């Protein structure tokens, strides 16, 4: 608004000032014409004018104010008289000739200079004969142009100063008034990255309620997840104990034992799937590097006899927006399966961009056949149909990734020759 309204006002003021000055000059020329005509006389069809005029500008050569008396014929102009100030100048050939009793304002070039010209045609009556002449009053526009230029310079200088002051004041005001929003944005970023668990700063009345509601949401969700997981844990124990009693019976057939084992695995799978935080409304950011380091340390101890080499290439700033337990399940199951299938080498690579988080796990084992790669990702595929080294953990990973609206793909590593698992989460 400052950059549009103030210049518009300046243009209007400049136009008004220019028009006012022009009107003032026109009035001056009209008044000068009356004073000259009052001194003019016609004797024997000859124009008689005094040697000196009342306005000294007409008497000084090159003063910038000139007067001419022209008798216009049909095909030429006859200069009857010119003021002493016009001495040494050339009479233009295209001077206007208004009708008797009428006047006209125009712009005229006299000796390569711009002039404002006032032309007025009068008729003197002598012995019943009309003597018609056109009086031309010309004023040099140099002074007018200088006056307008000076006004414009002053106007635009003050306008620039005022605009600069207003813009600075507006910038300072916006910076001050928007500071709480920037502070809230920074706190939300800290919560998302897991550096704090709630909104802690004090905010103005307009934002205090928003901050309070966000804290209420975070607290309520945390408590709800805790109660939910406690209930699921109780449910798991209540189901596993009867199953354990049934499995301890000595008269069970092999088929019955297999079915009870399958029930145990199914319960474990579904409980972990239900505990996933993927569908929650808010996720606190979890750094991936520390969790991956802990998992690798544990896996080295578990698979000590295989003497595996687990290489990590993780962006230190990589953040998983979800539950820490879910990240443990995803990385833990994939790395555990890779340790089972690998011969010597496993690689975990984590990269993060503004739009996505990518986790890649490869090994130098036998890999996963193309047919089985498709079957593993199909919804409802039985976990116990996976080949050696890729068991129930893949079903858990598949469902957890889906709950976070991520994508899991399985292929063959071009570097190690074994399985390639790629997980992509949109940010």
- How many other β-carbons are positioned within 10 Å of the β-carbon of residue 89? 16
pLDDT of 326: 84
Count of structural domains within the chain: 3
Phi-psi region of 126 (alpha: psi -120 to 50; beta: other; left: phi over 0): beta
Q: Do 140 and 190 share a structural domain? A: no
Q: Do 269 and 301 share a structural domain? A: no
pLDDT of 386: 41
Phi, psi angle pair for 60, to nearest 5°: -95, 125
Q: Do 244 and 129 share a structural domain? A: no
Full domain range(s) for residue 127: 2-147
Structural domain includes residue 83: yes
3-class DSSP state of 277: coil
CATH of the domain at 378: 3.30.565.10
* CA trace torsion 79, 85, 89, 95 (10° rounding): -50
Both structure tokens of 362: 């490869």
pLDDT of 385: 42
pLDDT tens for each residue of 47-102 = 888 888 888 889 988 888 999 998 866 556 788 899 998 988 888 888 888 988 89
Among the candidates 243, 275, 307, a domain finishes at 275
Q: Do 262 and 324 share a structural domain? A: no
Q: Which helix (H) or strand (E) holds 6?
A: helix 2-39
Q: Do 228 and 342 share a structural domain? A: no
Both structure tokens of 232: 């699921």
Residue 208 pLDDT > 50, yes or no?
yes
Both structure tokens of 307: 């003497």
Sign of CA dihedral 283, 287, 290, 291: positive
Which residue(s) pair with 239 in the sheet?
A: none
Among the candidates 275, 308, 331, a domain finishes at 275
Structural domain includes residue 166: no
In this structure, are strands 345-352 and 309-314 parallel, antiparallel, or unpaired? parallel
Within 193-323, where are the H helices?
205-247, 254-274, 288-302
CATH of the domain at 17: 3.30.450
Select from 174, 171, 161, 168 the least CA-distant residue to 6. 161
Structural domain includes residue 154: no
Structural domain includes residue 108: yes
Q: Do 291 and 206 share a structural domain? A: no
Structural domain includes residue 167: no
Q: Do 310 and 267 share a structural domain? A: no
CA distance 35 to 57: 13
Q: Do 200 and 302 share a structural domain? A: no
**Residue written as tokens 């609206």?**
405
Structural domain includes residue 160: no
Residue 1 pLDDT > 90, yes or no?
no
pLDDT tens for each residue of 263-306 = 776 676 566 655 555 545 455 678 899 999 999 999 998 888 88
Structural domain includes residue 140: yes
Among the candidates 275, 294, 323, a domain finishes at 275
Phi-psi region of 319 (alpha: psi -120 to 50; beta: other; left: phi over 0): beta
pLDDT of 15: 93
Q: Do 298 and 268 share a structural domain? A: no
Q: Do 212 and 78 share a structural domain? A: no
pTM confidence score? 0.47
pLDDT tens for each residue of 6-32 = 899 999 999 999 999 889 989 999 999
pLDDT tens for each residue of 156-185 = 999 999 999 999 999 999 888 888 888 888
Q: Do 230 and 95 share a structural domain? A: no
pLDDT tens for each residue of 358-394 = 999 999 988 887 777 777 666 445 434 444 444 566 7
CA distance 376 to 382: 8
Q: Do 419 and 301 share a structural domain? A: yes
Structural domain includes residue 204: yes
Between the CA of residue 6 and those of 19, 139, 152, 154, 404, what are the distances in Å? 20, 34, 14, 14, 53
- Taking residues 308-313, what's their average pLDDT? 90
pLDDT of 311: 92
- Is-contact 44 37, C-beta < 8 A? no
């Amino acid at each position: 608004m400052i950059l549009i309204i103030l210049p518009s006002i300046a243009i209007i003021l400049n136009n008004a000032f220019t028009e006012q000055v022009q009107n003032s000059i026109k009035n001056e020329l009209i008044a000068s014409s009356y004073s000259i005509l009052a001194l003019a006389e016609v004797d024997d069809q000859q124009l008689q004018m005094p040697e000196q005029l009342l306005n000294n500008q007409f008497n000084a050569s090159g003063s910038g104010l000139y007067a001419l008396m022209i008798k216009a014929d049909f095909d030429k102009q006859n200069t009857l008289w010119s003021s002493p100030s016009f001495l040494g100048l050339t009479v233009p050939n295209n001077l206007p000739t208004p009708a008797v009793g009428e006047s006209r304002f125009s712009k005229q070039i006299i000796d390569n200079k711009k002039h404002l010209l006032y032309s007025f045609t009068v008729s003197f009556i002598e012995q019943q004969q009309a003597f018609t002449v056109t009086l031309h009053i010309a004023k040099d526009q140099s002074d007018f142009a200088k006056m307008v230029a000076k006004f414009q310079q002053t106007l635009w200088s003050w306008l620039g100063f005022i605009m600069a002051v207003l813009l600075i004041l507006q910038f300072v005001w916006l910076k001050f008034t928007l500071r709480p929003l920037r502070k809230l944005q920074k706190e939300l970023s800290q919560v998302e990255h897991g550096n704090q668990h709630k909104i802690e700063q004090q905010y103005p009345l307009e934002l205090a309620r928003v901050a309070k509601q966000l804290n209420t949401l975070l607290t309520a969700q945390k408590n709800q997840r805790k109660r939910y997981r406690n209930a699921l844990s109780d449910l798991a124990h209540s189901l596993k104990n009867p199953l354990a009693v049934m499995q301890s019976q000595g008269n069970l057939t092999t088929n019955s034992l297999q079915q009870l084992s399958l029930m145990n695995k199914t319960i474990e799978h579904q409980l972990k799937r239900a505990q996933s935080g993927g569908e929650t409304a808010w996720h606190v950011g979890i750094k991936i590097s520390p969790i991956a380091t802990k998992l690798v340390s544990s896996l080295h101890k578990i698979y000590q006899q295989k003497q595996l080499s687990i290489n990590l290439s993780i962006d230190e700033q990589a953040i998983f927006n979800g539950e820490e337990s879910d990240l443990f399940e995803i990385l833990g199951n994939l790395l555990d399966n890779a340790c089972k299938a690998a011969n010597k080498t496993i690689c975990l690579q984590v990269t993060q961009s503004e739009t996505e988080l990518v986790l890649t796990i490869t090994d130098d084992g036998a890999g996963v056949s193309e047919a089985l790669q498709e079957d593993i990702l199909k919804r409802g595929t039985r976990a116990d149909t996976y080949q050696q080294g890729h068991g129930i953990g893949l079903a858990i990973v598949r469902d957890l990734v889906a709950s976070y609206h991520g994508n899991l793909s399985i292929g063959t590593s071009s570097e190690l020759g074994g399985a390639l698992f790629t997980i992509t989460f949109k940010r």
